[in-house]
Amino acid sequence: MTMRMDAPASYPGAPTSSVPALNDIVDLHCYPLLERSGAAYRDLVAQGRALLEETGAVTFPGFVRPDAVAAMAEQALALRPRMFRFREMHTVYFRPAQDTEAPSHPLRRLLETEKDTVAYADIPESNLTRLLYRSDAVLAFVSDVLDQEQLYRHADPLAALNLQGFSAGQQLGWHFDRSDFSVTLAIQTPEGGGDFEYVRMLRRADDECYDAVGRFLDDPATQKIQILPQVAGTLTMFRGRDSLHRVAPVTGPRLRINAVLAYVDQPNAQFSDYAQKLFYGRTAAAPVA
């Protein structure tokens, strides 16, 4: 069974007479997303859930086929003029610094993030990464691995799917996520740096562990830093609420590109005007060019 997608093919090497099928994008041999009741699919989901439970993260290398991920990189680079530069100093909590605390307290420590983002509204219908995001089979797979009964694509016109570029010197500073999970696709690795680094369970729901976080910010050698391999084509699911993580500064001329696929457990999620302006530099979604 092949699942036809609803937009025209427009990437190099695409079949000329038909729209891309999921099979043209995802390696359905390794990841049999269209056979949801088959044993191979169930094993894949069970292994993914076990890894998430054990380590807080699971990667699916080679999820997107090499030729498709190369086309995704080319399409993302073509959107570079549309990228909005986000540059902020922030705490690991993404809350304003609390000046009443001692200067060394994590609530006051500022980290730097600088990255360039293409908002969902600026990603054309025929974009391969967008087709992947729009796939119900991918949505079902993500829900199954995350063990969520029903997930939805984010309803925000800017935040639903983002392409993120990190050029030399850019990074995503150490932080805890404010969502239970995130889903990303590695599209292009840089020459150097740009690793996704994390420290597992540096806080708990009932304990902020400020001392340990503060010590880590002073001296990263006080904790075991793990790296999630982000080879192009890898789909990653990560539980980042209690595991501190970052994208290390990129070096070299090649952009680190990934996609952030926003899936949420409610159908009508929206960013506030404030958050839209902060992350995308505008509030209203402009029509796709």
Q: Which is nearer to ligand AKG, 127 or 258 (CB)?
A: 258
State the DSSP string of 49-62: HHHHHHHSEEEETT
| Residue 77 structure tokens | 């680079």
| Gap between the Cα atoms of 110 and 29, Å rounded | 45
| Residue 39 structure tokens | 């044993």
Rule CB under 5 A: say whether 240 interacts with Fe ion.
yes
Q: Which stretch binds ligand AKG (CB under 6 A): 32-40, 106-114, 120-128, 240-248?
A: 240-248
> Number of helices (H) and strands (E), helices first, in the chain?
7, 15
Mask for 199-238, x = binds ligand AKG (CB under 6 A): ----------------------------------------
**Residues pairing with 21 in the sheet:** 4
Half-sphere exposure of 42 (CA within 13 A, CB side): 3
Rule CB under 5 A: say whether 177 interacts with Fe ion.
yes
140, 260, 275, 285: residue in contact with ligand AKG (rule CB under 6 A): 260
| Gap between the Cα atoms of 231 and 121, Å rounded | 27
- What is the nearest approach in angstroms of ligand AKG to the Cβ of residue 8? 29
| Gap between the Cα atoms of 169 and 193, Å rounded | 9
- What is the nearest approach in angstroms of Fe ion to the Cβ of residue 262? 12
28, 64, 92, 247: residue in contact with ligand AKG (rule CB under 6 A): 247
Q: Which is nearer to ligand AKG, 128 or 261 (CB)?
A: 261
Amino acid at the residue 50: A
Q: Which does 276 bind (CB under 5 to 8 A by kind): Fe ion, ligand AKG, none?
A: none
Q: Which residues contact 77 (CB under 8 A, 6 or more apart)?
A: 255, 257
Q: Which stretch binds Fe ion (CB under 5 A): 113-121, 154-162, 185-193, 239-247?
A: 239-247
| Gap between the Cα atoms of 245 and 188, Å rounded | 19
| Gap between the Cα atoms of 117 and 80, Å rounded | 9
3-state secondary structure of 208: coil
Q: Which is nearer to ligand AKG, 67 or 177 (CB)?
A: 177
Mask for 143-182, x = binds ligand AKG (CB under 6 A): ---------------------x-------x----x----x
- What is the nearest approach in angstroms of ligand AKG to the Cβ of residue 238? 7
Q: Which stretch binds ligand AKG (CB under 6 A): 57-65, 122-130, 217-225, 239-247?
A: 239-247
Rule CB under 5 A: say whether 173 interacts with Fe ion.
no
Residue identified by tokens 């696709």 is: 185
- What is the nearest approach in angstroms of Fe ion to the Cβ of residue 175? 6
Q: What is the DSSP letter of 200?
A: T
CB 62 within 8 A of CB 27: yes
| Gap between the Cα atoms of 109 and 87, Å rounded | 16
3-state secondary structure of 89: strand
Q: Which does 74 bind (CB under 5 to 8 A by kind): ligand AKG, Fe ion, none?
A: none
Q: Which does 79 bind (CB under 5 to 8 A by kind): ligand AKG, Fe ion, none?
A: none
Q: Which residues bind ligand AKG (CB under 6 A)?
A: 164, 172, 177, 182, 184, 196, 240, 245, 247, 258, 260
Q: Which residues bind Fe ion (CB under 5 A)?
A: 177, 240
